[in-house]
Amino acid sequence: MAHWKMDCDANGFVWLTIDVADRSVNVLTHEVLAELSEVVKTLSKQDEVKGLALLSGKAGGFVYGADVRQFSLFQDEAAVAEHIRFVHQCFHQLSHLPYPTVVGIEGVAVGGGLELSLCFDHIIVTSSPKTQLGFPEVGLGIMPGYGGSGRAYRRIGIKPALDMMLTGKSLNAATAESYGLVDEIVNSEADLKAATLTWLIAQKGQKPSRKMCDVPSDHADIFAAAKAEHLARARPDHTPAPFAIMDHINTHKHDPQAMTDAEMITFPVLMMSPASKGLRRLFDLKDQVRKAGRGDSGIKKVHVIGAGVMGGDIAAYSAMLGFEVTLSDQNEEAINKATDRARKLYDRRLKTEDQIKAAMLRLTADPKGDGMADADLIIEAVAERLDIKTLVFAEMESRAKADAILASNTSSIPLEKIAEGLKNPARLVGIHFFNPMPVLPLVEVIWADTTASETIDRAMRFSGQLKKFPIRCKSAPGFLVNRALLPYVYAGIAAMLNGTDADQIDTAMVDYGMPMGPIELADQIGLDVTYDAGVPLGMPEAVASALQAKIAAGDLGRKSGQGFYQWDEKKALRPRNDYPLATLTPLVDTLLQPMIRECQAAVDEGVVDSAEMADAGMIFGTGFPGFRGGPLFWANENSKG
């Protein structure tokens, strides 16, 4: 066997070890499961076996679940159902072996990894922070499919089962024990084998039985509370999985075995749904982007020039994540305000007063910019004017140490223009954060032909150290996000000017899954910013005229209380009417075409490395619905029929 090792000791106990070949972690690929099936068939025929223990051969890790990428090999529901039946048969045999079975876990046991563990009579885990147990399937648009729903439900009952499956969050060892999901906790991985042996000896070859958790009398209230908490903002036509999970548990709450069996019907339908395809694509995009930002940048000290909202937030957030940060601005009051905002951020995000104090100590007000001399990275976040940035970078270069990275947070100015005034443009890079910076995950790392590859790589890794999602972008008008987003916004404004009701336009896109429609988004951004950002890109003449007229009248959107809509503080006052689906669907197709076209052009021109990165940028930078998989993925799937 390539992935499993099996030994038998003098007691008649079989020691089974999972150690998936050519993988840094254990995952349940089709090949791994096929070998397990043969193992279980062999074990079921061995009369002399007195007990079975499963451990991991990967230090510090158990099983990360099924191989998500192999899900794409299934062509239809029938193929998924065949796979699920195969795994159910294997796991059923495993759970019904006629002697006691025990599993020892340190590290991640989620999805299929937890479902495998639940086939054992006794579950022992370590108290290590690495130990995490959960059902993350809802984030992939599916539900537990290897029998885990019924087996977990038998152990923990309605409320914990609903919480685990609807949130997708993992449990630590202590919480899992309090739920009854695990039976025993030991101190370390070194203790697992001894603990499993002790338990097996104590059973004296007799298989233990487990009573099902009682169905509580207030089960209707539990389901109602779960619906209010977890489904209030969800829609079954967008993400059907949480609704299917709720129905699945409610329908079979009196029979855990029926719950397990019913997975074979529900899981294939969810797996082949558009939402699952999109969310599995999103899972892959996150993985790719995180890998691109993985590693040590070598950056310890950061200096930020410009203490406005963006610069102040960059400085505060970087200090919160462990960097030593100095912040300069010509206006000392701006620095003071930024420091006050930092304290509020730390109060919200950090757990203890000691952590808050430590973060505040890492953030230093530096009106004269003395921190530039020692900084490994200097980020400018001043006004979006080339003349101002040119002066800032000239001073920056004269004061920075030779190996420091010089970065601009520019959202629109070509990096080549900034590089013209530098003696060594190889160390110039764009690190474009999005507002609000502590919240939005995307970072566009902008490079020009003059930027050294090492500079780009270090900027990518720095962004990863900030727990952001960095996308590599070639310097070009609008980079990726603004290039693709603004034409979509202008298409919405043009449709409105051509007679389509603004509320209908925005309703169509919210119904599609966008956080807000293009008209409301323009107001949210500010009509002046919407116009200025589009000047380098171009926009329809009628749209430009309409924006200029609004700007001249002082109607700038949310910030002025009036734009295309009237605003009541944070809320646009629009009717939010219901419209026939037949009128919304073609509107969505029309409005998304400019975004799709520009994303494809960015790929074709090498502005981004791939279609995957274009889709990732739009999801993480604009709120494009993740369950759609990205503009290019959606367009491709939509074209299939």
> Which residues carry out catalysis?
432
The identity of residue 557, as a single letter, is G
Cα–Cα distance, 627 to 639 (Å, whole number): 17
In contact, 608 and 631? CB cutoff 8 Å: no
Separation of alpha carbons 419 and 378, rounded Å: 15
Please spell the DSSP secondary structure of 82-122, one letter per residue: HHHHHHHHHHHHHHT-SS-EEEEE-SEEETHHHHHHTTSSE
Shortest CA distance to 505 belongs to which of 494, 490, 519? 519
Q: How many CB atoms lie within 10 A of CB 160?
A: 20
HEC profile of 377-437: EEEECCCCCHHHHHHHHHHHHHHCCCCCEEEECCCCCCHHHHHCCCCCHHHEEEEEECCCC
Residue located via tokens 């992939």 = 140
| Residue 254, SS3 per DSSP | coil
What is residue 293's DSSP assignment? T
According to DSSP, the β-strands at 442-447 and 428-433 are antiparallel
Q: Rounded to whole angstroms, how far apart are CA atoms 169 and 135?
A: 7
Crossing angle for the helix pair 581-604 and 631-639, to the nearest 10 degrees: 120
Backbone φ and ψ of 324, nearest 5°: -85, 120
Contact in structure between 42 and 1 (CB atoms under 8 Å): no
**Which residues have a Cβ under 8 Å from the Cβ of 240 and sit 6 or more positions away?**
141, 270, 273, 275
Q: How far apart are CA 488 and CA 538, in angstroms?
A: 12
Distance, CA of 417 to CA of 168 (rounded, Å): 46
In degrees and rounded to multiples of 5, residue 312 shows phi and psi of -65, -40
